[in-house]
Amino acid sequence: MKQTYYFAAWTDSGCLLGCDHQHQTVTSAAACINMPGGYVAAVETSLRELTEWEEAEFQMAKYGIGGEPPKDKNPVRQLGWLPIKRYT
């Protein structure tokens, strides 16, 4: 199984910067953003963009709203320390 972690990311003067943590959830990394326009990046074997599920979690964590997450066979997703959010 791939080990994935997340970090808060932002740009400054054309450089990609980020926090030094290896957050276990998108929500945790989103809470670490301290710059306007910050985002969350995922790392598996290399840096990658967020999946649709991860993006929905980011939108919920950062803005309290989320688009309709993609349907899959496991509609319950744990959001870190938050109560389980059930998408129906």
State yes or no: residue 21 binds Zn ion (CB under 5 A): yes
**Residue 55 phi/psi, 5° resolution?**
-65, -40
Task: Compute the least distance from the CB of residue 7 to Zn ion, in Å.
Answer: 6
How many CB atoms neighbour CB 42 within 10 A?
19
What lies within 8 Å, CB to CB, of 64 at 6+ separation is: none
Q: Binding to Zn ion (CB under 5 A): which residues in 53-72? A: none
Q: Taking CB under 5 A as the rule, does residue 32 contact Zn ion?
A: yes
Nearer to Zn ion, 8 or 26 (CB): 8
Shorter beta-carbon distance to Zn ion: residue 21 or 48: 21
Q: Which stretch binds Zn ion (CB under 5 A): 18-26, 38-46, 52-60, 73-81?
A: 18-26
Interaction site with Zn ion (CB under 5 A): 8, 19, 21, 32
